[in-house]
């Protein structure tokens, strides 16, 4: 560019300049601050075992939560279907949060609208908002389906979605045959994964019911296909990876709920509102598939029940298949559902990943790890840690509450930990927040933390490097584009983790140090 290159520091460096430092010092005279000694004492206390005990006795308040709410999951679910517009029924701000939240993670726009309820809706109910909203949204954004989910507000006042949508049709706000699916998703129950599940189940069941078909698993042309459900999937790369695996098997399949297109669209000069997604016509047909493969069994609880119960299909349910062993199980499940053998290309890929594990194992062996995330992701991460010889120590699941079958999940986690001596140090915390995690990291130190961007503050306080895995990841780019499932995903995770360990080694070294690791 030009010769007159100017160095413009961002706030991290700019405000370390002397004049700004001086300014802040001057400011202290009127804020009546604590003395440095008092601050140091308070900090030390907050890091102590005594404080940790008090922190864990805390019942009343949540400090630094690690979950989002149901409708956020529903918005993601809706974006998994062809030309479907997510419609959040309730007060408007919720929708705005969901759009920013998802956009900050994927670095992509999130099309979603709100019925923008206000006080009058609080008093008289949200019907007119729903009717006007549907009419406006269809006119403005020209979707082929609208997927309605609710916020707390609509739930507390008890809006009847089915009746409202019926009235909207009667009044001609939307056409009789225009599909509007809906799910009740109050935020004071469950979390983003509950909402994802509710919306997927609603879309499957409502589109199926409308079609007037009857379920006949294994019948007709669709009878050779496999249904695949990935769940609340923050990695677009995982969709590509599962496709690669299924194509290697040479089996036909339908992905039910595929938001990868919406969250990985090309920059080719024109933004469209809708990219890809499961074809609406494919949803009723999916009832005739050979069977269903579920990759987040704790997330997709209701959906599984529906597929088993109404579609009478065989369901193979796994947790996020991270690492070699979990991928082995995935391939076995596909093999069992389809009757096809595991293809040679995948066997070879497995061998390469095992080789990579072997190359890296000296740096991972015995590394103590803290994990935070959603239930299915955690099961995958624990499995991965155990097979590379890392020791999970603190396992924190904020949204594994009672509604989530927390107990059953915990039992499965503990059973998984018991399969390996590397799991013996671990404790599982269900429903705890990131302030609890901070105490844990400070009092029972680990070498690495694995979790979302929100974990970074606790990790920083404790001086532990953070490997960003899960949702949301706001402060790193493109992590979601690379798969973490399958053998390729295992390799990606391994690369990510071992290189953070190696970075640490380099950072701690004085002088030139080692070139060869």
Partner 1 sequence: MEPIRKEEIDDQACGSLAPKSKPCPRPKPGEAAGGCSFDGAQITLLPIMDAAHLVHGPVACAGNSWESRGSLSSGPSLSQYGFATDLSNNDIIFGGEKKLKDSIDYIAGRFAPPAIFVYATCVTALIGEDMDAVCKEASDRLGIPVVPVNSPGFVGSKNLGNRLAGDALLQYVIGTGEPELEASMGVNLIGEYNIAGEMWDIEKLMNQAGITLLSRITGDARYKEITWAHRAKANMVVCSRALLGLAKQMESKYGIPYFEGSFYGAKETTYSLRQMAYLLNDREMERRVDRLTEREENRLSHDLRPYRKILKGKKAVLYTGGVKSWSVISALKELGIQVVGVGTNKSSDEDVQRIADRVSDDTEYIPEGGASRIIKTVRERKADIMIAGGRNMYVAMKEQIPFVDINQERHKAYAGYEGLLRLAKELVDSIANPIWKLASSPAPWDKEDSYDR
> What part of residues 144-163 is at the interface with partner 1 (CB under 8 A)?
151-153, 156-157
Residue from 28, 36, 250, 344 touching partner 1 (CB under 8 A): that is 28
Shortest CB 458 distance to partner 1, Å: 11
Report how far Cα 26 is from the mean position of its chain's Cα atoms: 45
156 is catalytic: yes
Query: Quick check: 48 binds partner 1 (CB under 8 A)?
Result: no
Is 16 a binding residue for partner 1 by CB under 8 A? The answer is no
Contacts with partner 1, 396-435, as mask; x by CB under 8 A: ---------------------------------------x
Closest separation in Å from C-beta 386 to partner 1:
30
Does 135 engage in binding with partner 1 (CB under 8 A)?
A: yes
Closest CA to 225 of 252, 185, 257: 252
Q: Is 469 a catalytic residue?
A: no
Question: Which residue lies nearer to partner 1 by CB, 175 or 267?
Answer: 267
Measured from the Cβ of residue 496, the count of other Cβ atoms closer than 10 Å reads: 16
Please choose, out of 234-242, 259-267, 285-293, 330-338, the segment that lies near partner 1 by the rule CB under 8 A: 259-267
Site for partner 1 contains 58 (CB under 8 A)? yes
Cβ distance to partner 1 smaller for residue 265 or 314: 265
Residues 333-372 that bind partner 1 (CB under 8 A): none
CB 98 → partner 1: shortest distance, Å?
Answer: 7
E strand or H helix that includes residue 226: strand 225-229
Nearer to partner 1, 133 or 323 (CB): 133
Does residue 130 interact with partner 1 by CB under 8 A?
A: yes
Size of the site for partner 1 (CB under 8 A): 98
Q: Which residues face 81 on adjacent strands? A: 278
Q: Which is nearer to partner 1, 27 or 365 (CB)?
A: 27
Contact 399, 192 (CB under 8 A): yes
Nearer to partner 1, 64 or 499 (CB): 64
Strands (DSSP E) along 284-338, which ranges?
291-294, 314-317
Dihedral Cα 481, 484, 487, 491, nearest 10 deg: 90
Q: Pick the catalytic residue: 152, 294, 397, 446?
A: 152
Q: Which stretch binds partner 1 (CB under 8 A): 118-126, 219-227, 383-391, 500-508?
A: 118-126
Under the binding rule (CB under 8 A), the answer on residue 33 touching partner 1 is yes
For position 466 contacting partner 1 by CB under 8 A, the verdict is: no
The answer to whether residue 56 forms part of the interface with partner 1 (CB under 8 A) is no
The answer to the question of residue 477 lying near partner 1 (CB under 8 A) is: no
Verify binding: residue 125, partner 1, rule CB under 8 A: no
Verify binding: residue 11, partner 1, rule CB under 8 A. Answer: yes
Under rule CB under 8 A, residue 134 binds partner 1? yes
Q: Which of residues 187-206 bind partner 1 (CB under 8 A)?
A: 187-189, 191
Give the whole-angstrom CA distance, residue 459 versus residue 167.
Answer: 52
Among 74, 129, 299, 320, binds partner 1 (CB under 8 A): 129
- Looking at the Cβ atoms of 54 and 347, the one nearer to partner 1 is 54
Q: How many whole angstroms separate alpha carbon 224 and alpha carbon 423?
A: 40
Please tell me the distance from the alpha carbon of residue 471 to that of residue 68, in angstroms, as a whole number: 10
Q: Is 15 in the site for partner 1 (CB under 8 A)?
A: yes
Decide if 270 contacts 207 (C-beta within 8 A).
no
Rounded to an integer, what distance in angstroms lies between the CA atom of residue 235 and that of residue 483? 6
Return the number of the residue (122 or 215) whose C-beta is nearest partner 1. Answer: 122
What would the DSSP string read from start to end of 439-482? Answer: HHHHHS--SEEEE-GGGHHHHHHHT--EEE-SS---SSSSGGGS
Stretch of residues binding partner 1 (CB under 8 A), selected from 95-103, 408-416, 418-426, 490-498: 95-103
Look at residue 437 and give its three-state secondary structure: helix
Question: Counting contacts by CB under 8 A, is residue 504 touching partner 1?
Answer: no
Q: Give the long-range contacts of residues 260-264, CB within 8 A, separation 24 or more.
A: 260/233, 260/236, 262/79, 262/80, 262/108, 262/111, 263/79, 263/102, 263/106, 263/108, 263/236, 263/480, 264/106, 264/108, 264/236, 264/481
Close Cβ partners of 376 (under 8 Å, ≥ 6 residues apart): 193, 231, 295, 296, 297, 298, 299, 319, 320
CB of 277 to partner 1, least distance (A): 17
Q: d(Cα 485, Cα 109) in Å, to the nearest integer?
A: 25
Q: Of 416, 405, 350, which Cα lies nearest the Cα of 378?
A: 416
Q: Does 116 bind partner 1 (CB under 8 A)?
A: yes
CB atoms within 10 A of CB 243: 15
Q: How far apart are CA 24 and CA 26, in angstroms?
A: 5
**Catalytic center residues:** 152, 156
């Amino acid at each position: 560019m030009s010769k007159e290159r100017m160095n413009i520091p961002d706030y991290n460096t700019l405000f370390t300049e002397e004049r700004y430092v001086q300014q802040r010092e001057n400011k202290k005279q009127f804020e009546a601050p604590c003395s440095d000694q008092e601050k140091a004492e308070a900090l030390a206390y907050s890091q102590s075992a005594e404080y940790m005990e008090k922190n864990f006795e805390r019942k009343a308040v949540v400090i630094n939560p690690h979950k989002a709410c149901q409708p956020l999951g529903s918005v993601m679910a809706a974006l998994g279907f062809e030309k479907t517009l997510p419609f959040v029924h309730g007060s408007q701000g919720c929708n705005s949060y969901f759009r920013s939240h998802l956009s900050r993670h994927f670095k992509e726009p999130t099309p979603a609208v709100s019925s923008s309820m206000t006080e009058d809706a609080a008093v008289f109910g949200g019907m007119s908002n729903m009717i006007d909203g549907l009419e406006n949204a269809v006119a403005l954004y020209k979707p082929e389906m609208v997927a309605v989910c609710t916020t707390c507000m609509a739930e507390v006042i008890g809006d009847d979605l089915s009746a409202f949508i019926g009235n909207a049709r009667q009044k001609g706000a939307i056409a009789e045959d225009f599909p509007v699916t809906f799910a009740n998703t109050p935020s004071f129950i469950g979390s983003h994964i509950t909402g994802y599940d509710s919306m997927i189940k609603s879309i499957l069941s409502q589109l199926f019911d409308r079609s007037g078909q009857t379920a006949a698993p294994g019948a007709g042309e669709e009878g050779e296909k496999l249904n695949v459900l990935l769940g609340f999937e923050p990695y677009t790369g995982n969709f590509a990876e599962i496709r690669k695996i299924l194509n290697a098997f040479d089996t036909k399949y339908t992905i039910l709920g595929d938001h990868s297109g919406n969250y990985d669209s090309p920059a080719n000069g024109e933004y469209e509102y809708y990219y890809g997604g499961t074809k609406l016509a494919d949803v009723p047909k999916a009832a005739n598939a050979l069977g269903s493969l579920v990759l987040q069994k704790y997330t997709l609880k209701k959906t599984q029940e529906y597929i088993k119960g109404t579609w009478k299909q065989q369901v193979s349910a796994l947790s996020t298949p991270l690492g070699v062993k979990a991928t082995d199980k995935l391939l076995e499940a596909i093999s069992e559902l389809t009757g096809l053998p595991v293809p040679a290309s995948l066997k070879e890929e497995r061998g390469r990943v095992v080789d990579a594990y072997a190359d890296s194992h000296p740096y991972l062996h015995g590394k103590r790890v803290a994990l935070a995330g959603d239930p299915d992701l955690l099961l995958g991460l624990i499995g991965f840690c155990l097979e590379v010889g890392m020791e999970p120590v603190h396992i924190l699941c904020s949204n594994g509450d009672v509604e989530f079958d927390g107990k059953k999940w915990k039992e499965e986690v503990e059973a998984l930990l018991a399969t390996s001596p590397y799991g013996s140090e671990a404790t599982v915390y269900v429903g705890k927040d990131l302030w609890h995690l901070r105490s844990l990291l400070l009092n029972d130190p680990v070498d690495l933390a694995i979790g979302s961007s929100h974990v970074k503050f606790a990790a920083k306080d404790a001086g532990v490097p953070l490997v960003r895995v899960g949702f949301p990841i706001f402060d790193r780019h493109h992590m979601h584009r690379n798969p973490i499932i399958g053998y390729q995903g295992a390799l990606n995770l391994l690369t990510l983790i071992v290189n953070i360990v190696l970075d640490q080694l380099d950072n701690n070294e004085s002088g030139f140090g080692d070139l060869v690791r």
